[in-house]
Amino acid sequence: MRKYWVIFKNSIQTATAYRFNVFASLFNELLTLLILAYLWISIYHQGNKIGNYSLKGLIIYFVVNKFINLIIKSLDTARIVGEEIREGVIINYLLKPINYLNEYIFFNAGYIFYRLIFYIFIFIIVIFFSLGFFDFNLLRIFYFIIFLVISYFINLFIFYIIGISTFYFGFIMGLNYLTQSIISFLSGAFLPIDLFPSWLYNLMNILPLKYIIYVPISILTGKLNFSISLLSGGILWMLFFYELSIFIFKKGIKKYEAFGI
Amino acid sequence: MKLLEFKKFIKIWFIGLKISFMNRMAYKYNFFIMAVGVLAHMILTIIFVKVLFNFINNLVGWTYEQALLVVATYMMIEGLMWATCACLGGLTRNVNMGTLDIIITKPIDSQFLVSVWRGDPEDWMRVITALFIFSQCYKGINIDSYLFLNIIYYLILLFNAYIIVYSINLLVKTLVFWVIDSSALWTITENITRVSQYSTDIFFHKTVRFLFSTIIPLAFIATVPAKFLVKGFNLPLFLSSCFLAIIFFVTSRKFWLFGLKHYSSASS
């Protein structure tokens, strides 16, 4: 465990070297948030209503959405893992007594921890100003954190799997882009998934993507109530992707020919 | 002499595009999946608009077909930017890798060479999708006796929009000369220009509308060209578009030259 702690600390130190990126990402997300807010305000000022969402409800949805984006999607996992395999850097890890997936999780966690320090204050301010609009309570925030952790791991494992697909495909830039596009949309990052046509919404209810954005936000805003079935569903999907990533890595490493070193 | 110079630039541009295509073809499956990814992204954008219009009749006066014309215009510009110069990806990459020296020591304009260093051929899919949307949105177009002229004006505005987006990219990405890790610069320009896929009429505050019409002229990327197809010719908007394209291009050029003076090589 100690070796992973060192990786975690190193990752924080690396992140501090690139402070510009942290501020630039924040600027990015705030800019897109501003635009989306204008879009929704324009629609609601015309007297329209989107589904059963109030204007404030939609804006809060996208504020939390941006917070999740800043935290769980801050590193391009598939690209990082894919490049390490393609360029042969992964050999360095294979020769050491460390697990590559654990190493990556701790590296990623360090980076996210550093970002969290910046963004948590903004998020707390938003929560504070939203107190009048929503039934935020400590229990909901606690459940939100649990589902945020599930969201983080499901997202990480999916893109880790895309990354280690480099063992088979050699280059996964296209696959990464395709997956990012689909996941962004179907996880509820563009629109809450309960606004989708009913057939698509029903399909999304079966699939795990809703756990990445829609479920954590809906738990926080009270749109969804916490239930054991919802929680166990998320944990099962998380374990499924974890096992799948272990399986694909084991198979892939057998056919891996280290090139590029 | 000028013509020969121009021919040389065009030739180098095409060679750059050819090399980019050959690079992509080294991983054929990746190229095709990338093209599918681009297509999927475009389709999802259309679905987003479609879902939105399931709840509304118009978006600040734009009907579904007209709103799609704005989206298609944005797709066209975005597609051309990626396909012809990869949104200046060559600049950030070469500075980070320490290979910019190879480019700036060539006997040709460095800004031009760094711009055409890379093009993403799969992004022609955006242009094709945009053309397909146009064919589906003819209901939103103002079909009158001036249609042909309006299309000509639209193409001129599209060219201006390309110059504006290129200049915004150059202005932001030139910051790479001062910033160590430039990966965030990518998303900044992408997110700024992505705003233009919505009609800028949604900005009902005068100050914000002024901001997005002049300082960051997003209105002139997709909304104004689409307006020419929907409502016909508008002289003040036409002249403003031409003026802004010139101003932005000249400013970004000056900033590029200024940034270049501050470049310190990392390769040697």
Q: Are B167 and B251 in contact (CB under 8 A)?
A: yes
Can you tell me the distance from the alpha carbon of A221 to that of A233, in angstroms, rounded to the nearest whole number? 20
Q: Give residue-wise pLDDT tens across range B108-149.
A: 888 998 888 888 888 899 999 999 988 888 766 766 767 788
Q: DSSP state, B178?
A: T
**What separation in angstroms does the CA of A73 have from each of A115, B76, B113, B168, B214?**
11, 28, 33, 26, 33
What is the chain A residue with the closest CA to B44?
Answer: A185
Q: Which of A181, A194, A200 to mutate to test the interface with B (most CBs of B within 10 A)?
A: A181
Structural domain for B131, as ranges: 2-261
Q: Give per-residue pLDDT as tens, B37-62.
A: 989 988 998 998 998 898 988 888 88
Query: Are the beta carbons of A178 and B122 separated by less than 8 Å?
Result: no
Q: What pLDDT is stored for residue B267 in this prediction? A: 56
Q: Is residue B88 part of a domain?
A: yes
Per-residue model confidence as pLDDT tens digits over B160-174: 999 999 999 999 889
Question: Across the A/B interface, how many CB contacts are shorter than 8 Å?
Answer: 114
Q: Between residues 56 and 85 of chain B, which touch chain A (CB distance below 8 Å)?
A: 56-60
Task: Name the pLDDT band for B1 (thresholds 50, 70, 90).
Answer: low
Residue B158's pLDDT is 95
What is the number of other CB atoms lying within 10 angstroms of the CB of residue B26? 10
pLDDT at position A157 is 96
Residue B53 located in a structural domain: yes
First-residue to last-residue Cα distance in chain B: 37
Whether B266 is covered by a domain: the verdict is no
Number of domains in chain B: 1
pLDDT value at residue B182: 67
With a cut of 70, say whether residue B94 has pLDDT above it: yes
Cβ proximity of B157 and B225 under 8 Å: yes
**What are the start-end ranges of the H helices in chain B?**
2-25, 28-55, 64-85, 89-97, 100-104, 110-115, 124-136, 147-173, 183-194, 206-210, 223-231, 235-261
Nearest to B188 among A17, A28, A177 (CB): A28
User: Roughly how many angstroms between the first and final C-alpha of chain A, as a whole number?
Assistant: 29
Q: Give domain status of residue B267, yes or no.
A: no
Among residues A136, A77, A70, which one has the least CA distance to residue A103?
A: A77
CB atoms within 10 A of CB A234: 23
CA dist B104 → B167, B180, B186, B259 (Å)? 19, 19, 22, 13
Answer whether residue B9 shows pLDDT above 90.
no
The model carries a pTM of 0.85
**Residue B220's pLDDT is what?**
92
pLDDT at A209 over 60: yes
CA–CA distance, B108 with B113 (Å, rounded to integer): 7
Q: Is residue B268 part of a domain?
A: no
CB B259 within 8 A of CB B174: yes
- B122 vs A contacts (CB less than 8 Å): 174
Residue B215 touches chain A, beta carbons under 8 Å: no
Interface of A with B (CB under 8 A): 17-18, 20-21, 24-25, 27-28, 31-32, 35, 38-39, 41-43, 45-46, 48-51, 169-175, 177-178, 180-182, 184-185, 190-191, 195-197
Mean pLDDT in residue range B2-23: 84
Beta-ladder partners of B62: B59
Record: contact A24-B187, CB cut-off 8 A: yes
pLDDT-based confidence at residue B230 (cuts at 50, 70, 90): confident
Residue A17 burial class via C-beta count within 10 angstroms: exposed 0-12, middle 13-18, buried 19 and up: exposed
Chain A: nearest CA to B125, how far in angstroms?
13
Report whether B121 contacts B70 (CB < 8 A): no
Give residue B90's pLDDT. 80
> Residue B268 above 60 pLDDT?
no
